[in-house]
Amino acid sequence: MTIGQLKNNWLLLVLMIVIVAGGGVWLNYNFSAKLAALPTISQDNLNKQSNVIVRTANQVTVNQDDRTAQVAQDLRSGLVGLFKTKAGGYYVFNQADSQALILTSDGWLVSNAPVKGNWLDEVAVTVDHQVLPVGQAIYDSVSGLTFLHLTGANNLSVKKLSKVNQLTLGQSLLAYGWPGRALPVHINQLNQTADGVRSSDVYNNNILLSANVSAANYLTLVDFSGNVVGLFNNKSQLTPADQLTVLLPDLLAHQTINRVSVGVSYVPLDSVVSTYGQVGLRVVGVTSNGPAAAGGLRVGDILLTADNVELSGANDLAGLLVDYRIGDKMLIGYKRGGKNLQVELVLTKLK
């Protein structure tokens, strides 16, 4: 090959490289330009392009199903099945007569089972197949729940109890029962009575859920963090879990159930349409010989604050009492005849 041919071949190679490089730039620009020209996925474009498939809703459903399964699995160890004692000493795991939530690691439980003649004929079966006899039973007529103590129990799994006043309208929750029943629900209505009247001394909540929940099948209402927010009692009501927290000290120390009382019924003005404004709780009833009566509160008074905490439908007296004990004092700010007044109440035992 001559020098001239080498030069020609070299020039041809350079030319080919330039063409390829230039074409690459053009191809890259042309492809990018076409990408830029593609429509974004907006609602308008979705309406125009029937071949675009969005799977977001399905993915959300799958995620919720996964979360439901995870929460249900975590809760299993916090419940026990209750069985009538059998001579043979064997029990069919998923055929319990009733169920209970474990409150303490040393064997205190709470059950929504109907009142029984003799709880001492019952045994509890844990998720890890321990069989423990019931040694003590205390029925609470206010909540419709029965507190049980298991003989010889230790290191039982205890789930966290949460406050029901932290719930919100529309919130997704899970009704859960032994031995693994799980029903996703959400809140349709919060703490609303038929006539709008509430009581400081009523400890069950009227929460309307998106599905009917049978207390025979489900015991606990839990959030998706696995916290127990309430128990379905045998009165077809929801007992707030934080009420159990209030009862535990006396239950553990003295095996008794004590609750505090204010002795007043009221209508939250922010939850109704009235001529009295929309601030505070308007008193519609006062229990004789109760703290409210002793402090001089009357029907028609508007309760504004309790220990400087503003009162409302979402933050009423019944909800605040979970943090008080018998003998505690509560400073009530109220309005009567256009005047702002105060009175200190001494809380007594609910009778």
pLDDT tens over the chain, length 351 residues:
554 554 455 555 544 554 444 444 333 333 333 333 334 333 343 333 333 333 444 444 456 678 888 999 999 999 999 999 987 888 998 899 999 999 999 999 999 998 777 899 999 999 999 999 999 999 988 888 999 999 999 999 999 998 766 788 899 999 999 999 999 999 987 765 556 788 888 776 667 889 989 998 999 999 999 999 999 988 778 888 888 888 888 888 888 888 899 999 999 988 777 777 788 999 999 999 999 999 999 999 999 999 999 998 878 898 888 888 899 999 999 999 999 999 999 999 988
Whether residues 191 and 132 share a domain: the answer is: no
- pLDDT at residue 63 in the model: 63
Whether residues 265 and 250 share a domain: the answer is: no
| Residue showing tokens 């009523």 | 202
Is residue 233 domain-resident?
Answer: yes
Give residue 302's identity as a one-letter amino acid code: I
Specify whether the CB–CB gap between 163 and 229 falls below 8 A. yes
- pLDDT at residue 336 in the model: 96
Q: In a 3-state reduction of DSSP, which class is residue 348?
A: strand
Is residue 230 domain-resident?
Answer: yes
Whether residues 109 and 146 share a domain: the answer is: yes
| Residue showing tokens 């001089």 | 296
Whether residues 168 and 234 share a domain: the answer is: yes
Q: Judging by DSSP bridges, how do beta strands 339-346 and 329-336 pair with one another?
A: antiparallel
Q: Tell which residue, 256, 275, 284, has the closest CA to residue 139.
A: 256
Please tell me the total count of domains within the chain: 3
Is residue 19 domain-resident?
Answer: no
Whole-Å CA distances, 200 to 3, 191, 326:
108, 13, 14
Is residue 285 domain-resident?
Answer: yes
| Residue showing tokens 């032994």 | 178
User: Which residues, at least 6 apart from 293, have a Cβ–Cβ distance to it below 8 Å?
Assistant: 263, 286, 287
Specify whether the CB–CB gap between 140 and 226 falls below 8 A. no
Whether residues 134 and 101 share a domain: the answer is: yes
- pTM beyond 0.75: the answer is no
Q: How far apart are CA 341 and CA 334, in angstroms?
A: 5
CATH number of the domain that 230 lies in? 2.40.10
Whether residues 194 and 140 share a domain: the answer is: no
Is residue 97 domain-resident?
Answer: yes
Specify whether the CB–CB gap between 218 and 183 falls below 8 A. yes
CB atoms within 10 A of CB 75: 23
Give the residue numbers spanning the domain of 173: 164-254
Is residue 174 domain-resident?
Answer: yes
Whole-Å CA distances, 86 to 89, 92, 131:
5, 11, 11
- pLDDT at residue 278 in the model: 81
Q: How far apart are CA 199 and CA 193, in angstroms?
A: 10
Whether residues 120 and 190 share a domain: the answer is: no
Is residue 96 domain-resident?
Answer: yes
CB atoms within 10 A of CB 212: 9
- pLDDT at residue 27 in the model: 32
Q: Tell which residue, 279, 299, 293, has the closest CA to residue 343.
A: 293
CATH number of the domain that 100 lies in? 2.40.10.10
Whether residues 127 and 81 share a domain: the answer is: yes
Whole-Å CA distances, 58 to 62, 177, 211, 262, 297:
6, 27, 22, 50, 56
Q: Tell which residue, 213, 232, 219, has the closest CA to residue 96.
A: 219
Whole-Å CA distances, 192 to 41, 197, 249, 284:
42, 8, 30, 16
Whether residues 132 and 174 share a domain: the answer is: no
- pLDDT at residue 10 in the model: 52
Last residue within a domain, chosen from 110, 127, 150: 150
- Residue 227 has φ and ψ, to the nearest 5°, of -85, 135
- pLDDT at residue 276 in the model: 76
Last residue within a domain, chosen from 102, 122, 150: 150
Is residue 7 domain-resident?
Answer: no
Whether residues 306 and 340 share a domain: the answer is: yes
CATH number of the domain that 274 lies in? 2.30.42.10
Q: Which two tokens stand for residue 326?
A: 């018998």
Last residue within a domain, chosen from 93, 126, 150: 150
